[in-house]
Structure 1
């Protein structure tokens, strides 16, 4: 592969940095996060010197093992379509593909946000290079149940309920009925149904649901956790079930709320609890210009100031990150809930290289390993959030969550863990501030998963199976098996 020239590059030791990337980090990042330029680039160079040969060696091991497996299958063809599995397993152990499994151990990761540690909920994956998509995913923490129902086939098109070009009141009525059945199921009343409700009020710290001349309460009073507005006439009722929230929104002047007996205009549901902002599979960022787009958007998300202006329906719209949501608790206190999904970032894996930075270790310039570059730059961009200085907080535990894809077994996880150690030292962060999500999507990872987790047991936050990658690797690894 021919390498890009050093034209329009800034030289920092063994690093030849594309001018666009260098200017972005120098002018937009380092002053904002309070890191000294010389210290950062000298530390960057040190890490690259240490980990580039190690990265290469791991990839060479991949190739060698694959060659050995291919040859074994050629030398040991199947008989009647069957592989000699005992012999195959012994061979995999001999070449170090299958590793010995050690004693049991306990994962001891600390300072993990509730969205990962305690709340079960949907997770989105979105290309961080596209600011509008990145913002949509970030803001998907809360979503309108009415809108979701109206726009999907959950509500049938039969009996005049079709989704027409304009608003269809018949379909709208079906949406409202469905939503109230949802409330009945998950936030049951002591008597009657939400379809009987004519109003809401909070008295003595308890929710009262008015039903004409009478009133009722929640069957489980603990599910009422807050409200918006005045207790006697709230504009929002916050309910909680299985660590997820729902807000009944009340507005008698709203086009939907004015026709509802209780003036319910919508039910807002806590939806995408987390979102992975992706530098890898869902985007193509093949040079410095595109990597700067990726990094600039992540910087904006971590500082709470990312916004995107676009044209839609003939109008100019600006999208930005949602603020947090504030409620009054039943005892008169204040409850603040995050307005945005907790964000993770998926760095590129160990395989890919990128011309944004050229590295010269004595044999001429070569493209930097992109996983090393991401590992050194994305935490720098996250510093204000990690230190609690962001306008809109992401991690309230002072952690950063990095998803690491396409690793082959324990040695590669060990390198990722050691890389994170070095980055933490460079940026003055406490050990294990950078958390890792291990993608289990390579066969060599799957069969050695326990030992892979052991290598990052103080910073691992999840194991996430990439089914398509996992299946593809199985086919590739076993291609000569017939």
Structure 2
């Protein structure tokens, strides 16, 4: 049985209190005294209200259960059921038309279309992988899966498969960020002149930036449909050394956001579970 201590009129798990005081609060500018006093005030204010909501929910559920039990074996009457749900307050009258304000909403939510991951935050490895999934290697994804139509054979690097990956990658660039003339596969390098990419893009606005020296950049940043593409240039690695444009990888902006789940894919119910969940979240926030 977990040990509990009294703090500001609350019984708090000693393990949870230790985590809050020794790990979560340092660096926030909030003292443990101020935190627990404020939390106690919130708990004593909102706790009774929450219990009342739960009682209403339980009463509604009992009425719904009784309604179905009383009609067991009968054909479902959708009209009568809807009227019943209105009568008990489960359904409310439709309100007037309204509009929501989206000003200052992050573009990852408001305007950019892309995957959103959901992972159990109690699994540190899953959570970390998801947090790092904003960018992914196209070359790795193609080489290590059956996206090319087959799986890799053997354990070592297969140059023939690598060539297929590179060809697929260049075709992808031709489709997503086409050049004004020719193909990405026909050019022997990238550089930046007067703020523009050379070779020139069909749509110059797709050039978003570069890393390194303009005449010999180490990365080119492009964008398509709001998502970014990085062409990594590195002649010091095997892939880049054998590529005439020294392209070592193509990285794609992938999972734009992640839900770190504490409720659905996991069940953080006791102090030990919550401390694990909060510890992993704290680690992600601190980096």
TM value normalised by structure 2: 0.93
- For residues 244 and 33 of structure 2, the distance between their equivalents in structure 1, rounded to whole angstroms, comes to 66
The equivalent residue for 1:229 is 212
The equivalent residue for 1:392 is none
- For residues 134 and 187 of structure 1, the distance between their equivalents in structure 2, rounded to whole angstroms, comes to 32
Larger radius of gyration: 2
The equivalent residue for 2:230 is 247
Are the equivalent residues in 2 in contact too, given 1:156–1:162 (CA < 8 A)?
A: no
Which structure 2 segments of 5+ residues have no match? none
The equivalent residue for 2:145 is 152
Larger strand fraction of residues: 1
The equivalent residue for 2:255 is 272
**What secondary structure does 1:237 align onto?**
strand
State the aligned residue count: 287
Which structure 1 segments of 5+ residues have no match? 210-216, 305-482
Alpha-carbon shift at residue 92 of structure 1 (Å):
1.2
Are the equivalent residues in 2 in contact too, given 1:285–1:291 (CA < 8 A)?
A: yes
Alpha-carbon shift at residue 237 of structure 1 (Å):
0.9
The equivalent residue for 2:135 is 142
Are the equivalent residues in 1 in contact too, given 2:177–2:201 (CA < 8 A)?
A: yes
The reply to whether residue 94 of structure 1 matches residue 77 of structure 2 is no
Q: Please list the CA deviations of residues 282-329 of structure 1 after superposition, one character each: whole Å capped at 9, or x if unmatched.
A: 23433222321211221222223xxxxxxxxxxxxxxxxxxxxxxxxx
The equivalent residue for 1:108 is 101
Q: Please list the CA deviations of residues 213-241 of structure 1 after superposition, one character each: whole Å capped at 9, or x if unmatched.
A: xxxx2110110111111111111111011
- C-alpha RMSD over aligned residues: 1.9
Q: Please list the CA deviations of residues 387-410 of structure 1 after superposition, one character each: whole Å capped at 9, or x if unmatched.
A: xxxxxxxxxxxxxxxxxxxxxxxx
The reply to whether residue 259 of structure 1 matches residue 261 of structure 2 is no
- For residues 161 and 113 of structure 2, the distance between their equivalents in structure 1, rounded to whole angstroms, comes to 31
Alignment of 1:38-57 (within 5 A): 38-57=33-52
Alpha-carbon shift at residue 109 of structure 1 (Å):
5.4
Alignment of 1:199-218 (within 5 A): 199-209=189-199, 217-218=200-201
Alignment of 1:326-337 (within 5 A): none
Larger helix fraction of residues: 2
The equivalent residue for 1:125 is 118
The equivalent residue for 1:63 is 58
Alpha-carbon shift at residue 76 of structure 1 (Å):
3.1
**What secondary structure does 2:136 align onto?**
strand
